[in-house]
Structure 1
């Protein structure tokens, strides 16, 4: 939604990570885009990245009994905290020119809510294999649809420690010594990654994520979010958000805003695969336009 003030100025790509993740996951992608002359920044959502919480019982040697009950400060965060944080950054970035907001996986919830809140500040929203709720109110609702039937999310759910209702967070033991854990991460998230690459992935994923986000209202609204040009990058080998569910998100969005259809791009990769691959770099570089 370019304005006269921002027309002709270089856009800033603002990246929002998914669940149990942080800004670090975008590093390879941002490095390549920056070297091509594009302006980029990746955000750590509240309670993530430099401010993530690592339970004492999570460290080696792990104490699984204590890990199941150790309190987490992330229990106090809500989707409104995520949205407020992103909006503040977008407002600052908007002073430099247009803003393209990019979200992956659960980050799509924040993208949609920011789009509802400040559509006038966004040049485009981009969903990178992300949840894009339209007809149904939240992520959990879509997990129960036929289009999600082939998801391997249940393999990751098996890594949960403790009761999310009691902890206020979804706590995953990425560092489990059980060989099945490595297999679950690879099958659901990483596809063709080597075992060493999967171990590196597990080392940077965060144990805690605010439990309320999947049940938070996340629908894009036609009169706000629906006015913003949008791109959906489909990961055709995704086993966490199956292509059928990604297609449902796209179809629902297009029915809501028939005059603003989704720009769809396909990449043959698993859920976390393309963040260091040239295909996604090429898509985002094209959307950002030729740098000065």
Structure 2
């Protein structure tokens, strides 16, 4: 095992190995806890991994006072949120910092789920030399179309369950998309379960909802997040198709794969399919099996 130093001016020696570190990026309204089952399985199999909390999420998340019990539904429509000022650039800056630290120890495999895919694109555009492989776990990957909104308004995205999940009607100046995951409405629960975790039990789906955060920056879905062919496009990449995903429909996943491959004809997606809903397979081992295959490709 050799010693190396970070190329950014850090003169501290670090152990550099051929063993990759997985850096896991969560999706909208989520946090690092969403990766906990995958992190545990990776650790038990002897892998290095870190799940990030994007700015405004996790212990830095915002839970409006009106969101607490008893809920103030009127206040929930007007209460301000710090996420209204969070941008995709903020997400990318944070993850670039994590990637730089992880890269001191060896190759980095950057993994994103759902909306986390646009952060992958942004990070890959900034530091392609630090990333050995990109993994999109049923994640957004804009290339020909600039934004998540552009992708969701295609015919392939029109069947998304996200359009049936009721959001809180907040004023545009708040700058957030807000969902009341604690709603007691049985119809809301059924729609959310169908959209995110259709093959989970009701108890498992309720446990999931209690890990989600009410606010997400509205700016993310409208920000240009195209992967650039000379930067993002030079990194090997895998797309994990979730065939039972009703939030990012399979047709939309395939459209993103097609458009990305057209942009970089000499570097196509490696494609794998899992019979999983949007949140991923109930058995985290199935996802880790795929990540282990990617790790073998980096050696």
The correspondence for 1:114, drawn from 86, 109, 123, is: 123
> TM-score scaled by structure 2?
0.92
User: Which of residues 33, 37, 45 in structure 2 aligns to 1:28?
Assistant: 37
Match runs of 1:80-99 below 5 Å? 80-99=89-108
Answer whether contact 2:178 2:215 (CA < 8 A) is retained. Answer: yes
In structure 2, stretches of 5+ residues that fail to align are 6-14
Residues 1:129 and 2:135 aligned together? no
Alignment partner of 1:193 is 2:193: no
4+ residue runs over 4 A deviation = 4-8
Partners of 1:7 and 1:255 in 2: CA distance: 35
1:234 alignment partner in structure 2: 241
- Is the CA contact (8 Å cut-off) linking 1:37 and 1:291 kept in structure 2? no
Report the alpha carbon displacement of residue 163 of structure 1 after superposing the two structures with TM.
2.2
Change (3 A) 1:81 1:275: farther
Superposition map of 1:138-287 within 5 A: 138-156=147-165, 158=166, 160-163=167-170, 165-274=172-281, 276-287=283-294
Secondary structure in 1 matching 2:137: strand
Q: Given that residues 17 and 105 in structure 2 are in contact (C-alpha distance below 8 angstroms), is that contact kept between their aligned partners in structure 1? A: no
Using the TM superposition, name which of 43-52 and 144-153 deviates more.
144-153
**Partner-residue secondary structure (3-state), 2:138:** strand
Q: Which residue of 1 aligns with 2:68?
A: 59
Distance 1:276 1:70, change over 3 A: farther
Tell whether the 8 Å contact from 2:83 to 2:175 is kept in structure 1 after alignment.
Answer: yes
> What are the Cα deviations for residues 106-155 of structure 1, in whole angstroms up to 9, with x where unaligned?
00000001011110000001100000001011000011101112211112
Partner Cα distance (1:188, 1:64) in 2: 23
For these two proteins, the number of residue pairs brought into alignment is 287
Matched residues in 2 for 1:105 and 1:230: separation?
Answer: 16
Structure 1: gaps (5+ residues): none
Q: If the length of structure 1 is used for normalisation, what is the TM-score?
A: 0.95
1 CA distance for matches of 2:261 and 2:17?
Answer: 28
Distance 1:83 1:275, change over 3 A: farther
Within 1, Cα distance between the matches of 2:234 and 2:157? Answer: 27
Contact 1:26/1:275 (<8 A) preserved: no
Offset, 1:170: 0.6
